[in-house]
Amino acid sequence: MTAGLRVVEPTPVLRVRDLVKEYGEGDARVRALRGVSLDVQQGDYVAIMGASGSGKSTLMNILGCLDVPTSGTYLIDGADVGRLDERQLAILRNRRVGFVFQSFNLIPRMSALANVELPLVYGGVPQAERRARALAALEQVGLSDRVHHEPNQLSGGQQQRVAVARALVTAPALLLADEPTGNLDTASTHDVLQILDRLSESGRTIVCITHEDDVAAHAKRVVRLVDGEIVEDRRQAPVDGPPPRTAAG
């Protein structure tokens, strides 16, 4: 008998309620976010879009625990970020959020393997375990043959794939990508988007900040910001990824 049973909704990976972010004071005050509310469930792939000045970068910084809102609440995996101190925030960023930036942000004189291991070093993971996890992450992005190469020995596409592996190595609740193809040529863009597609198909939760329609077309959901407010939030059937490429890129 099912009558009277209460269906328990799964806890969203992200829950944002009435986020407001203001900069400056008085006549110089700028409201970058104007009451943004958003839920992202496990396994979703969300593209957050908007023109320059729309508030998407501000929202990304808050979602990544790199900034705090003026008001409103933000929960990640059920944890209220506003109640965490600096040490707890640093642990949450390291363990629960994987970052992929437009500019790669790799350490120049370190190998791909060492770059991927870095979050695990900060997390206190033993050497043998972090080496195994980093190698597995690099294999996942198709760079098993580049583990000892430094960034200047890699193409832009390969550097971004190292950055994706670094973001994955902690098994984060959220993969947060900020314009991940902004510095890549067409072929490398295809490679990175294929990897994100595969991660999404495997159940990874992804939020991608982008202004490019071609990138957003790979997402399951598009959220559009204008002047700090959500004006569109729609589901879509993601495009099929391009066929696999055999050449390194």
Backbone angles phi, psi at 67, to 5 degrees: -150, 165
What's the whole-model pTM score?
Answer: 0.89
Q: Please state the domain extents for the chain.
A: 42-70+81-235
Eight-state DSSP code of residue 156: H
Domain 42-70+81-235, CATH class in plain words:
alpha beta
Reported confidence tier of residue 138, pLDDT bands at 50, 70, 90? very high
Smallest Cα–Cα separation from 112: which of 34, 52, 165?
A: 165
Smallest Cα–Cα separation from 16: which of 53, 67, 59, 61?
A: 59
* pLDDT score recorded for residue 244: 43
Share of the chain above pLDDT 90, in %: 76
Eight-state DSSP code of residue 107: -
Backbone angles phi, psi at 140, to 5 degrees: -60, -30
Mean pLDDT across 125-153: 96
Share of the chain above pLDDT 70, in %: 92
pLDDT tens by residue, 87-104: 998 888 888 999 999 899
pLDDT at residue 176 tops 80: yes
pLDDT tens by residue, 27-80: 888 999 999 999 999 999 999 999 988 999 999 999 998 888 999 999 998 889
Mean pLDDT across 131-138: 97
